[in-house]
Amino acid sequence: MQLHSAAGKRDMFEDPLFWVFVLPGVLLGAYAQSRIKMNVAKYSRVTTDGGITGPKWRAGCWTHKASRTSPLTRHQGC
């Protein structure tokens, strides 16, 4: 196994110090992404007091209450 390239330096992926710094960040990022995905899936099914979920509200309010040419405006209660 060759640890040094032609210039006499170690290859980046063979250097243990590279993995000491990179691996924790990759693992933390993967964990955070999985938690975000899980929470979005969980809370997109939660209904309001009116019985409507977030995706249903988004589909109803943005397509029916606002036209494509007008700026987005706040509507009272969908």
Hey, which residues does 69 pair with through a beta bridge? none
**Predicted local distance difference test score (pLDDT) of residue 7:** 57
The neighbouring-strand residues paired with 10 are 4
Per-domain residue ranges of the chain: 1-43, 49-78
CA dihedral 39, 40, 41, 42 (to 10 degrees): 50
Burial classification of residue 43, based on how many CB atoms lie within 10 Å of its CB (0-12 exposed, 13-18 middle, 19 or more buried): exposed
Residue ranges of the chain whose pLDDT lies below 70: 1-8, 61-78
Q: What is the pLDDT of residue 38?
A: 96
Residue pLDDT, tens place only, 19-36: 999 999 999 999 999 999
